[in-house]
């Protein structure tokens, strides 16, 4: 018997059978043996059996009156589910072997394939099968003489394509920049609103443009373990939207963001704001776009820290005040670091496909222990900046309330220890890490609101 | 209406899984565990375009067999049956045609499918589906499930085969 092993036990690709396959086959209570009958129809029937992994053979109990032919290929399959009343079923697994039968009962396998959802989760199995879906739909389009593509409703397609839920990453620094300005006595509601809208359009534009370049580079295609937090929108991988459509959408979103930015520059008369906006768009596009491709060079985390830190927060501050200042500059490092850490943790499940696509992200370059330690050091550094800023008199003391978010750092760090190698169980950790930015940012906002209220009360 | 014997219809009505065997590319049998649905006449299986090799096989050769063999998946019923027939692949509109044809039958056996459908945005390709409609032609039935005894054999009335 051939001993070529599949790349992972329980994985989908067909392979030469191994002793492990026969041991696995032995765990099924019965098998279904199948062949093509003389009329050309498949015939399949349950049978009992004994699998001998050492000899590489399976002894079948021949079904009465149905001799298993020796002159053609025979299939054997063991399958399992666990019924879940009121739900359906789970614990899906199956193993199919092909080979020849001699003496009416001795089966010698030549090829095997199978799936066990406890070893290859359903979502990963589905992602591995995306090319088959594309092939089928392409052939179906040809057969029917019209284009047949997968679809989603416009609402869900828009949400998925732009990755709308990630806008919280923009809201935190922009609102903080506005709050710092308000604590300094500068606040105009409509420019604040425009800042939030413009920043959001820029963020969505960058999301979409990143998908364009990650699709073209093959990074998204290579990723078979995407999660709701990682792996891109995948709308082009799934052929829900063409790459050209994504590019046009990205240009449109950038156009709106740029128009709002230029309006704000005109209103404030701040040349600094113009440069901040230009830098934001350049960094956002260069994140995945050639020639810089920052994320491919291990600079993605720094790019995100700059974009969602100084550029968003300081930009929002400048819109309100028309000038730069140290307080928002230093404060911007906090959301900058925490949002970069969202990317950093979300890159962990993508690290294998990123490496294949040449994306040298930090989780690709560093050992798991170093990645985990790096997370802890960087996250605690963000909170140390708050403490140092308060001690140094740069920040108002109510910002110390944000330290209440430190336990979340420890929870994420602990989760990374346990779930580092499991993309799907890591999702909960990634969600907690997203919440860290929201909670810390929200608490910083509470601190500034307290300062603003106190200044009103104090006259 | 259908001609399958009552005990086989009872298996089809409760089975959460059956083994569909199709003729593969090289003439070899290829078997897929799938959830069988039954409307009293034809047997329906269905497949996402993600896992559509079986559909490609069926478009080349529409002869199939469906084995109902697992008592655990059939509410403890130990009987077994194998149905041979021909299959029609229905995939004019993989996005929504299957919902009209088989969703009501599907949700009876797998109620959680409605929850999955609400998350269609997360699994868009899983819900691009084709229906496999099987017209039974012959049926073998093993009362009590022991295939060491010869099965009872049934055939479709001649006019229905045509």
Best B19, B24, B117, B118 member to test A by mutation, with max A CBs in 10 Å, is: B19
Question: In the predicted model, what is the mean pLDDT of residues B73-86?
Answer: 97
Q: What is the pLDDT of residues B91-121, one digit of tens each?
A: 999 999 999 999 999 999 999 999 989 889 9
**Same-domain check for residues A199 and A232:** yes
Residue A184 maps to a domain: yes
A171 contacts: CB under 8 Å, gap ≥ 6 = A196, A200
- Nearest-10 crossing angle of helices A271-286, A189-217: 20
* Model pLDDT, residue A269: 94
Among chain B residues, CA nearest to A92: B33
> Is pLDDT larger for residue A285 or for residue B158?
A285
Residue A6 maps to a domain: no
**Same-domain check for residues A369 and A354:** yes
Look at chain A and count its residues: 459
Residues of A in contact with B134 (CB under 8 A): none
Among chain B residues, CA nearest to A157: B121
- Provide the whole-model pTM: 0.86
> Is pLDDT larger for residue B149 or for residue A229?
B149
> Per-10-residue mean pLDDT for chain A, 459 residues long?
39 82 95 97 97 95 95 97 91 96 96 92 91 96 97 95 92 98 97 98 94 88 78 93 96 96 96 95 89 88 94 97 96 97 92 83 94 98 98 98 98 95 86 96 98 88
Q: Is the pLDDT of residue B77 over 90?
A: yes
**Same-domain check for residues A285 and A335:** yes
Tell me the C-alpha distance between A50 and A206, whole Å: 58
* Model pLDDT, residue A427: 86
**Same-domain check for residues A73 and A166:** no
Tell me the C-alpha distance between B52 and B129, whole Å: 9
Q: Residue B159: which pLDDT band, with cuts at 50, 70 and 90?
A: low
**Of A25, A29, A7, A8, the residue nearest A98 (C-alpha):** A25
**Same-domain check for residues A191 and A236:** yes
**Same-domain check for residues A145 and A188:** no
**Of A356, A232, A375, the residue nearest A301 (C-alpha):** A375
Q: What is the pLDDT of residues A300-359, one digit of tens each?
A: 899 999 999 999 999 999 999 999 999 999 999 999 999 999 999 999 988 888 888 788
Tell me the C-alpha distance between B103 and B13, whole Å: 15
- Nearest-10 crossing angle of helices A368-391, A426-457: 0
Q: What is the DSSP string of A329-340?
A: HHHTHHHHHHHH
**Same-domain check for residues A59 and A78:** yes
**Same-domain check for residues A200 and A224:** yes
| Domain that residue A324 falls in | 154-457
- Number of structural domains in chain A: 3
Residues of B in contact with A96 (CB under 8 A): 30-31
B94-103: long-range pairs with CB below 8 Å, 24+: B94/A137, B94/A140, B94/A148, B94/A150, B94/B49, B94/B128, B94/B129, B94/B130, B95/A150, B95/A151, B95/B127, B95/B128, B97/B131, B98/B46, B98/B129, B98/B130, B98/B131, B101/B44, B101/B131, B101/B133, B102/B37, B102/B44, B102/B46, B102/B131
Residue A114 maps to a domain: yes
| Domains of chain B with CATH codes | 6-161 (2.30.110.10)
**Same-domain check for residues A68 and A160:** no
Residue A191 maps to a domain: yes
The alpha-carbon gap from B1 to the nearest alpha carbon of chain A, in Å, equals 24
**Same-domain check for residues A314 and A379:** yes
**Same-domain check for residues A55 and A91:** yes
Residue A380 maps to a domain: yes
Residue A141 maps to a domain: yes
**Same-domain check for residues A262 and A222:** yes
Residue A190 maps to a domain: yes
Tell me the C-alpha distance between B101 and B131, whole Å: 8
Among A103, A134, A150, which residue terminates a domain? A150
Among A69, A103, A118, which residue terminates a domain? A118
Look at chain B and count its residues: 162
ipTM, interface predicted TM-score of the complex? 0.95
Residue A3 maps to a domain: no
Look up residue B16 and give its two tokens: 């959460």
């Amino acid at each position: 018997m051939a001993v070529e092993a599949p790349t992972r036990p329980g994985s989908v690709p067909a392979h030469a059978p191994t002793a492990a396959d026969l041991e696995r086959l032995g765990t099924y209570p019965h098998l279904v043996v199948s062949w093509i009958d003389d009329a050309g129809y498949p015939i399949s029937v349950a049978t009992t059996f004994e699998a001998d992994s050492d000899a590489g053979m399976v002894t079948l109990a021949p079904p009465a009156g149905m001799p298993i032919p020796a002159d053609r290929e025979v299939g054997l399959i063991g399958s399992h589910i666990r019924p879940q009343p009121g739900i359906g079923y789970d614990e899906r697994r199956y193993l199919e072997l092909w080979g020849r039968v001699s003496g009416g009962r001795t089966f010698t396998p030549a090829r095997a394939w199978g799936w066990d959802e406890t070893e290859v989760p359903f979502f990963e199995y589905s992602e591995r099968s995306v090319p088959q879906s594309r092939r089928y739909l392409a052939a179906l389009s040809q057969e029917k003489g019209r284009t047949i593509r997968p679809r989603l409703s416009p609402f869900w397609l828009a949400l998925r394509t732009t990755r709308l839920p990630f806008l919280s990453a923009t809201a935190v620094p922009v609102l903080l920049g506005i709050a710092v300005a308000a604590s300094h006595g500068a606040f105009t509601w409509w420019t604040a609103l425009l800042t939030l809208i413009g920043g959001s359009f820029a963020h969505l534009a960058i999301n979409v443009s990143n998908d364009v370049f990650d699709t073209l580079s093959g990074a998204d295609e290579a990723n078979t373990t995407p999660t709701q937090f990682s792996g891109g929108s995948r709308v082009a991988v799934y052929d829900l939207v063409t790459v050209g459509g994504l590019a046009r959408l990205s240009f449109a979103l950038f156009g709106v963001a740029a128009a709002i930015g230029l309006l704000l520059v005109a209103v404030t008369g701040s040349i600094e704001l113009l440069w901040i906006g230009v830098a934001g768009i350049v960094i956002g596009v260069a994140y995945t776009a050639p020639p810089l491709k920052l994320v491919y060079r291990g600079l993605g985390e720094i790019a995100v820290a700059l974009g969602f830190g100084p550029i968003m927060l300081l930009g929002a501050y400048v819109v309100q005040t028309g000038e730069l200042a140290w307080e928002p500059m230093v404060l911007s490092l906090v959301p900058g670091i925490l949002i970069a850490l969202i990317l950093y943790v979300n890159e962990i499940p993508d690290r294998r496909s990123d490496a294949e696509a040449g994306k040298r992200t930090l989780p690709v370059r560093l050992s798991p222990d170093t990645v985990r330690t790096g997370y802890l050091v960087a996250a605690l550094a963000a909170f140390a900046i708050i403490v140092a800023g308060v001690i140094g008199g740069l920040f108002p003391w109510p910002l110390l309330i944000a330290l209440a978010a430190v336990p979340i750092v420890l929870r994420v760090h602990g989760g990374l220890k346990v779930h580092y190698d499991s993309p799907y169980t890591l999702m909960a950790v990634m969600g907690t890490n997203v919440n860290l930015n929201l909670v810390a940012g929200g608490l910083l906002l509470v601190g500034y609101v307290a300062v603003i209220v106190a200044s009103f009360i104090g006259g | 209406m259908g001609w399958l014997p009552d005990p086989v219809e009872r298996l089809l009505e409760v089975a959460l899984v059956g083994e569909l065997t199709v003729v593969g590319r090289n003439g070899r049998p290829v078997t897929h565990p799938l959830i069988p649905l039954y409307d009293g006449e034809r047997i329906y299986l269905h497949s996402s375009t993600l896992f559509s090799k079986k559909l490609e096989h069926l478009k080349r050769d529409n002869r199939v067999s469906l084995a109902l063999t697992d008592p655990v998946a059939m509410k403890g019923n130990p009987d077994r049956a194998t149905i041979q027939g021909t299959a029609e692949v229905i995939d004019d509109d993989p996005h929504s045609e299957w919902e009209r044809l088989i969703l009501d039958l599907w949700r009876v056996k797998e109620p959680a499918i409605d929850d999955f459908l609400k998350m269609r945005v997360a699994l868009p390709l899983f819900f691009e589906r084709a229906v496999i409609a099987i017209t039974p032609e012959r049926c073998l039935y093993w009362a009590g499930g022991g295939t060491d005894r010869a099965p009872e054999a049934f055939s479709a009335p001649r006019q229905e085969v045509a």
